């Protein structure tokens, strides 16, 4: 038969990605040229690009003149980029990723204002806003150019500099999403001054995480600067953000950026953290939930004889010193069945084989492919009584 005589066709190609993460302060001040220089570098002769700006509502409470500042900043760029319609102000926090009406309103704006693949969507806000807007940008027209301006510690040192975008669906965190890099990221330290103490602290969880699995010296630096970080020293926080972002970017560039395998080494403490967010109806911030997840995986690593007791104690002490709570009653609820379900959901999210990152030491990750329910339960009980 003819079809038996035709050879199969194969295709293999690589697509290079490149984007920069810039660090600045007061990005929309007229004297600040960071964003301006980027947009000029992308200019095409005879073409005026469009930009749709989406702004985290919480920022307008702290910076009531921000919208006017953004509009005035772009007036000086009108020969290169023009804002389309009004700046879209939407509520931030994890709830924005649960709200399909917000998703629809953003997609409708892309359609209404004719935002094409050469236009920009500029997302300004915390990690949840960046996730939602990034997902809209990635799927509209199969990819609109995304500029991220993260405004929290967590988004500046972790989610805002990565390649993931997502919304929540089916009662599961990040169930719908894409791997789609931004074209540029601008970390503005000025926005950190608007954070309350919970959000200031919450973002440090990701720095602790990446230090535990990537860089012992960074952990020691956080440990020695814990008090001054907790007291909201902006200079120390700027270093923490820069180093954490650097480690994340290095991993993305040299690892498995689109997670085609079954390992997510940057997700230490996250399997339980993600489940806790849902179980608490997001009353826990992401970083707060991850801190508890890290504490759990740290104790489990010790209980399995992977991690020395001294390292276990140092990790738990640092978390508590920074102000994190390291246990939540939902860990123990329903005879810990919800926690076991979290493991199953994490396995599905990975795409097959369960792979959990534990610790063999500070700065020494250790991957396992199964979790002992009895020892996991003992680890939960340890945290419940840990002082």
Per-residue pLDDT tens digits for 271-318: 999 899 989 988 999 999 999 999 999 999 999 999 999 999 999 999
Q: Please choose, from the candidates 33, 322, 27, the residue with its C-alpha nearest in 3D space to the C-alpha of residue 191.
A: 27
- Please identify, among 138, 167, 194, the residue that sits at the C-terminal boundary of a domain: 194
Same-domain check for residues 126 and 54: yes
Dist. CA 278–CA 294, nearest whole Å: 17
Is residue 373 assigned to a domain? yes
Dist. CA 262–CA 265, nearest whole Å: 10
Same-domain check for residues 243 and 334: yes
Same-domain check for residues 183 and 218: no
Is residue 33 assigned to a domain? yes
Same-domain check for residues 378 and 236: yes
241 neighbors 186 (Cβ within 8 angstroms): no
Same-domain check for residues 228 and 190: no
Dist. CA 139–CA 146, nearest whole Å: 11
- Report residue 92 as tokens: 């931030």
Number of domains, the chain: 2
The alpha carbon of 15 is separated from its chain's Cα centroid by a whole number of angstroms, namely 23
Dist. CA 107–CA 290, nearest whole Å: 31
Is residue 284 assigned to a domain? yes
- If phi > 0 it is left, if psi is from -120 to 50 it is alpha, else beta; for residue 336 that is left
CATH number of the domain enclosing 286: 1.20.1090.10
Q: Please choose, from the candidates 205, 370, 378, 180, the residue with its C-alpha nearest in 3D space to the C-alpha of residue 285.
A: 205
CATH number of the domain enclosing 122: 3.40.50.1970
Is residue 13 assigned to a domain? no
Weakest-pLDDT range from 33-37, 213-217, 242-246, 352-356: 352-356
223 neighbors 314 (Cβ within 8 angstroms): yes
Same-domain check for residues 189 and 222: no
Same-domain check for residues 234 and 171: no
225 neighbors 343 (Cβ within 8 angstroms): no
Structure-token match 């973002």, residue found? 203
pLDDT of residue 1 exceeding 60: no
- Please identify, among 194, 221, 238, the residue that sits at the C-terminal boundary of a domain: 194
Per-residue pLDDT, averaged over 93-111, amounts to 93
Is residue 169 assigned to a domain? yes
**What pLDDT does residue 325 have?**
97
Per-residue pLDDT tens digits for 159-193: 899 899 999 888 888 889 999 999 999 999 999 99
Is residue 12 assigned to a domain? no
Distance of CA 207 to CAs 36, 144, 328, 347, 384, Å?
30, 30, 21, 24, 24
Is residue 7 assigned to a domain? no
Same-domain check for residues 126 and 44: yes
Dist. CA 342–CA 265, nearest whole Å: 17
> Hey, what's the torsion of the CAs at 374, 376, 378, 380, to 10 degrees?
-140
Q: Angle, to 10 degrees, between the axis of helix 100-112 and the axis of helix 127-139?
A: 50
Other CB atoms within 10 A of residue 305 CB: 8
Residues spanned by the domain of 238: 213-385
Q: Please choose, from the candidates 284, 277, 158, 153, the residue with its C-alpha nearest in 3D space to the C-alpha of residue 211.
A: 158
Same-domain check for residues 124 and 160: yes
Dist. CA 160–CA 21, nearest whole Å: 9
Same-domain check for residues 220 and 363: yes
Non-local (6+) Cβ contacts of 208 within 8 A are 219, 222, 291, 294, 315, 318, 319, 322
pLDDT band at 262 (very low <50, low <70, confident <90, very high): very low
Same-domain check for residues 92 and 239: no
Per-residue pLDDT, averaged over 214-227, amounts to 97
- Please identify, among 165, 194, 223, the residue that sits at the C-terminal boundary of a domain: 194
Cα three-residue angle 124-129-131, rounded to 5 degrees: 115
36 neighbors 77 (Cβ within 8 angstroms): yes
**What pLDDT does residue 127 have?**
93
Q: In the chain, what percentage of residues exceed pLDDT 90?
A: 77
Is residue 10 assigned to a domain? no
Non-local (6+) Cβ contacts of 202 within 8 A are 152, 153, 154, 285, 286, 287, 288
DSSP-H helix ranges across 19-142 = 34-41, 57-62, 66-75, 100-112, 127-139
Dist. CA 149–CA 211, nearest whole Å: 24
Distance of CA 262 to CAs 134, 274, 352, 357, Å?
24, 17, 7, 11
Same-domain check for residues 65 and 101: yes
Dist. CA 285–CA 124, nearest whole Å: 19
Q: How many CA atoms lie within 13 A of 53 on its CB side?
A: 22
**Global confidence as pTM:** 0.90
Highest mean pLDDT among 18-22, 43-47, 340-344: 18-22
């Amino acid at each position: 038969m003819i079809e038996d005589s035709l050879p199969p066709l194969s295709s293999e190609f690589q697509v290079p990605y490149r984007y920069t993460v810039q660090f600045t302060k007061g990005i929309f001040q007229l004297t600040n040229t960071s964003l301006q220089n980027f947009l000029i570098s992308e200019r095409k002769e005879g073409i005026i690009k469009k930009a749709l700006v989406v702004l985290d509502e919480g920022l307008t409470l702290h910076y009531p003149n921000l919208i006017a500042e953004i509009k005035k900043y772009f007036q000086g760029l009108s020969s290169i980029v023009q804002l389309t319609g009004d700046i879209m102000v939407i509520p931030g926090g994890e709830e924005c990723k649960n709200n399909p009406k917000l998703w629809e309103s953003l997609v409708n704006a892309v359609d209404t204002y004719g935002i094409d693949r050469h236009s920009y969507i500029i997302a300004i806000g915390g990690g949840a806003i960046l996730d939602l807007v990034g997902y809209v940008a990635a799927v509209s027209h199969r990819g609109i150019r995304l500029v991220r301006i993260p405004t929290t510690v967590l988004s500046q040192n972790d989610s805002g500099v990565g390649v993931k975008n997502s919304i929540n669906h089916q009662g599961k965190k990040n169930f719908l999403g894409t791997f789609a890099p931004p074209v540029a990221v601008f970390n503005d330290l000025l926005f950190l001054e608007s954070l309350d103490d919970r959000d200031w602290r919450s973002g440090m969880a990701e720095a602790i995480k990446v230090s535990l699995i990537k860089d012992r010296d960074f952990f020691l630096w956080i440990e020695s600067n814990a008090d001054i970080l907790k007291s909201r020293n902006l200079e120390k926080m700027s270093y923490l953000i820069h180093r954490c972002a650097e480690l994340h970017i290095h991993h993305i560039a040299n690892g498995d950026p689109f997670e085609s395998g079954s390992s997510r080494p940057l997700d230490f403490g996250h399997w339980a953290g993600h489940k806790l967010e849902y179980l608490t109806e997001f009353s826990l911030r992401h970083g707060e939930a991850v801190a508890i997840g890290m504490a759990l995986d740290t104790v489990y690593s010790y209980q399995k004889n992977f991690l020395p007791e001294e390292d276990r104690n140092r990790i738990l002490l640092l978390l508590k010193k920074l102000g994190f709570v390291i246990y939540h009653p939902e860990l123990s609820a329903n005879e810990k069945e919800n926690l076991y379900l979290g493991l199953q959901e994490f396995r599905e999210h990975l795409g097959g084989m369960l792979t959990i990152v534990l610790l063999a030491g500070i700065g020494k990750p250790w991957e396992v492919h199964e979790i002992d329910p009895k020892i996991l339960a003992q680890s939960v009980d340890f945290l419940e009584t840990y002082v």
